[in-house]
Amino acid sequence: MDKQEINEALAELLFPDIDKTPEYYEQMYPERGLPEGARVTRFAPSPTGYLHIGGLFGALVDVLTAKVSGGISYLRIEDTDKKREIEDGVSGITDGMKAFGVEFDEGVTGFGTETGSYGPYTQSQRVEIYQTIAKSLVKQGLAYPCFCSSEDLDSIRERQEAEGADIRGYFGKWAKCRDLSYEEIEKNISEGKSWVLRFRSDGSPDKRIFFEDMIRGKIEMPENIIDEVLLKSDGIPTYHFAHCCDDHFMRTTHVVRGEEWISSVPKHIALFKACGYKVPKYAHTPQVMKFDDETGDKRKLSKRKDPEAAVSYFVEEGFPKESLTEYLLTLLSSGFEDWRRANPDVPAMDYPFNLKKMSSSGCLFDLVKLNDVSKNVICRMSASTVYDRVAAWAKEFDGEFYNVISADPDRTREILNIDRESPKPRKDIAKWSEVRDYISYFYPEFYRKDYSLPENISASDAKAIVAAYAKAYSASDDKDGWFGKIKELCEPLRFTPNVKEYKSNPDTYKGHVGDVSTVIRIAVTSRRNTPDLYSIMLLLGEDEVRARLADAGANF
Ligand code: GLU
């Protein structure tokens, strides 16, 4: 047998059940025929754990990159590591994406469901494709079976360490299965020895590769010389080989993935070339980092220490999806905030995102900033939207609160509308889980009395203020009349209605009108700071207001 015949025989020996050819799949998954410049991107998570905030970040880059270019983004599930897979891994990913409004054009849509004509979009259902390409590589002499046991591999590693070898791994003189004869292979197989399929690298240690990372620019690295594993002993591909086959047949143009994969690019370029495929463009996104609360140092978000590492945290806390995407966009692109100022009402997903303008250094996740962004987002929502969102959140995460607010939705909407739907709405709420406390004083079920006073107001003055106010108060006053009465209380109680005057003569008065209204506010709501007190009192109603004034007067 000549070399070619041996390779063909070997391919049959290793893959007797594979009857398809690469051409079959080329026809099944044709070029997408998109307009020039349209980009095809994919988000390709493994269902091995909770959805990390860095995943959502990457997915946003995928979706925006495709959208801006008139292309396609899709979701592929990389489930080749069955040992590490977790039960709700896939739905955790798809639910997290949906919860935050990240929508792909194609791919997996939930557990066992998908859409698009380049599927299946789950790697465990594509084994025949990988094996077909693997078989073809064997036929061309570009891949070979390796029977080394883990002990053999350990011993190679030990010897490489002892020698202080610069490059470690399975290659060159270390690759003992690289040149097994057909007869040896056949014998091993007939003895039932397990094998993996390895790539036959033709790389050389003194050659370098160059590629242009869309985010980091030109990168130069040593060429790959390792005979990388393509198929594991169970016939399932490694990440490297699956990446090559899938991104080729799904016609990905831009591979956006975490920076931890940069060092694998030489392997990937070698594989794409060996298969005769066009190498996609790569964009390696920076890690999501934070400042450690204790040390103050920058570090990776960690599942163990940081609840905000998991996307589910933001769902449970009730951050609106718009807030999180809005915030992630500020991290993704330095131009976003300027764009937002110029386009306050445009949905964030319409941002003209440019991969090349992304920063390559780790992006800093800052919950305080997210809260600020979210307050800005929520303050612009109508009361009825806020009600719907709060109710939907509470139904899932706080049944008691849900029952109370949904007993009278109109009243809850009115409560939520105080200082809202105006040119300068209050920015009090960052997430739905805060609303219970925020409006608690309207509901006897949640109201907790707290009549503690600021230091500058004595209990006897507070008692005198509420007593005088209870006499003056009329539920039918309009806002000016209401405030007029508070001002009128001042002088007889030795407070001044004029804040400026108080500031220039602080010794002449006990305080000013602001202190008087603070006392009334505390009496009525047990808070020092609330939205418009007049509106609050209207919604509480006369009887409740009078009862609270009396109670506070007796308990200051
Ligand atoms: N499944 C890989 C991961 O979760 C994906 C890397 C890629 O996007 O290619 O890290």
pLDDT tens digits, one per residue of 122-174: 999 999 999 999 999 999 999 999 999 999 999 999 999 999 988 899 999 99
What is the rounded distance in angstroms from the CA atom of residue 455 to the CA atom of residue 256? 57
Q: Helices (DSSP H) in 426-526: which residue ranges?
A: 435-438, 459-472, 479-490, 499-504, 513-525
CA 168 – ligand 1 centroid, Å? 24
Q: Is 76 in the pocket of ligand 1 (CB under 6 A)?
A: no
**Buried b or exposed e, range 305-338, using 16+ CB within 10 angstroms:** ebebbbbeebbbbbbbbbbbbbbbbbbbbeebee
Q: Is 417 in the pocket of ligand 1 (CB under 6 A)?
A: no
Pairing verdict, β 363-364 and 495-496: unpaired
Q: Helices (DSSP H) in 140-284: which residue ranges?
A: 150-163, 182-190, 239-249, 265-275
pLDDT tens digits, one per residue of 468-513: 999 999 999 999 999 999 999 999 999 999 999 999 988 999 999 9
- Whether the per-residue pLDDT at 30 is higher than 90: the answer is yes
Average pLDDT (37-48) is 96
User: Which of 43, 46, 61, 267 is the pocket-test mutation for ligand 1 (most atoms within 8 Å of CB)?
Assistant: 46
- The SS3 assignment for 226 reads coil
Which two tokens mark 417? 């509308």
Residue-by-residue DSSP string for 405-430 = HHHSHHHHHHHHTTT-SSSS-----S
Q: Cβ distance 109 to 138 under 8 Å? A: no
Q: Cβ distance 350 to 327 under 8 Å? A: no
CA 419 – ligand 1 centroid, Å? 46
Pairing verdict, β 281-285 and 288-291: unpaired
Q: Is 243 in the pocket of ligand 1 (CB under 6 A)?
A: yes
- Whether the per-residue pLDDT at 49 is higher than 90: the answer is no
Q: DSSP character for 237?
A: B
CA 239 – ligand 1 centroid, Å? 8
* Angle between helix 459-472 and 513-525 (nearest 10): 80
pLDDT tens digits, one per residue of 317-342: 999 999 999 999 999 888 999 999 99
What is the rounded distance in angstroms from the CA atom of residue 431 to the CA atom of residue 323? 9
Residue-by-residue DSSP string for 335-404 = THHHHHHH-TTS-GGGS---GGGS--SPEEP-HHHHHHHHHHHHHTS-HHHHHHHHHHHHHHH-HHHHHH
Which two tokens mark 165? 């070898």
Q: Is 46 in the pocket of ligand 1 (CB under 6 A)?
A: yes
pLDDT of residue 462: 97
CA 260 – ligand 1 centroid, Å? 9
Q: Please give the number of the atom of ligand 1 that sits closest to the Cα of 261.
A: 6
Amino acid letter, 436: R
Q: DSSP character for 145?
A: E
Average pLDDT (408-429) is 96
pLDDT tens digits, one per residue of 57-97: 999 999 999 999 999 999 999 999 888 988 889 999 999 99
- The SS3 assignment for 74 reads strand
Q: Cβ distance 513 to 483 under 8 Å? A: no
pTM listed for this prediction: 0.90
Q: Is 78 in the pocket of ligand 1 (CB under 6 A)?
A: yes
Residues 6+ apart with CB under 8 A from 392: none
pLDDT of residue 7: 97
**Percent of the chain whose predicted confidence (pLDDT) is above 70:** 100
- Residue nearest (by alpha carbon) to ligand 1 atom 2: 45
Q: Please give the number of the atom of ligand 1 that sits closest to the Cα of 48.
A: 4
Average pLDDT (409-438) is 97
User: Which of 63, 238, 243 is the pocket-test mutation for ligand 1 (most atoms within 8 Å of CB)?
Assistant: 243
- Residue nearest (by alpha carbon) to ligand 1 atom 3: 45
Average pLDDT (372-393) is 97
CA 184 – ligand 1 centroid, Å? 36
pLDDT of residue 361: 78
What is the rounded distance in angstroms from the CA atom of residue 396 to the CA atom of residue 329? 27
Which two tokens mark 398? 């706080």
Please calculate the CA angle 32-36-38 and round it to the nearest 5 degrees.
65
Q: Which residue has the tokens 């969102």?
A: 389
Average pLDDT (451-465) is 97
Q: Is 257 in the pocket of ligand 1 (CB under 6 A)?
A: yes
Q: 156-170, 220-234, 357-371 — which is least confidently predicted?
A: 357-371
What is the rounded distance in angstroms from the CA atom of residue 530 to the CA atom of residue 92? 38
pLDDT of residue 303: 82
What is the rounded distance in angstroms from the CA atom of residue 42 to the CA atom of residue 63? 8
What is the rounded distance in angstroms from the CA atom of residue 99 to the CA atom of residue 102? 8
CA 39 – ligand 1 centroid, Å? 18
CA 153 – ligand 1 centroid, Å? 26
CA 508 – ligand 1 centroid, Å? 71
* Angle between helix 399-407 and 409-416 (nearest 10): 100
CA 91 – ligand 1 centroid, Å? 17
Mean pLDDT (the chain) is 95
Q: Is 284 in the pocket of ligand 1 (CB under 6 A)?
A: no
Band the pLDDT of 359: cuts 50, 70, 90: confident
Q: Please give the number of the atom of ligand 1 that sits closest to the Cα of 55.
A: 4
* CA 151 to the chain's CA centroid: 41
Q: Is 89 in the pocket of ligand 1 (CB under 6 A)?
A: no
Average pLDDT (260-289) is 97
Residue-by-residue DSSP string for 58-70 = HHHHHHHHHHHTT
- The SS3 assignment for 485 reads helix
pLDDT of residue 202: 96
Half-sphere exposure of 202 (CA within 13 A, CB side): 6
Domains of the chain: 3-22+126-284 (3.40.50.620), 383-442 (no CATH), 459-555 (1.10.10.350)
CA 106 – ligand 1 centroid, Å? 17
pLDDT of residue 1: 83
pLDDT of residue 466: 97
Band the pLDDT of 196: cuts 50, 70, 90: very high
Q: Is 517 in the pocket of ligand 1 (CB under 6 A)?
A: no
Q: Which residue has the tokens 């792909």?
A: 104
Band the pLDDT of 362: cuts 50, 70, 90: confident
Q: Please give the number of the atom of ligand 1 that sits closest to the Cα of 45.
A: 4
- The SS3 assignment for 118 reads coil
CA 134 – ligand 1 centroid, Å? 21
Q: Cβ distance 297 to 304 under 8 Å? A: no
- Residue nearest (by alpha carbon) to ligand 1 atom 9: 257
Q: Which of the pair, 165 or 417, is modelled with greater confidence?
A: 417
Q: Is 44 in the pocket of ligand 1 (CB under 6 A)?
A: yes
Q: 44-58, 182-196, 270-284 — which is least confidently predicted?
A: 44-58
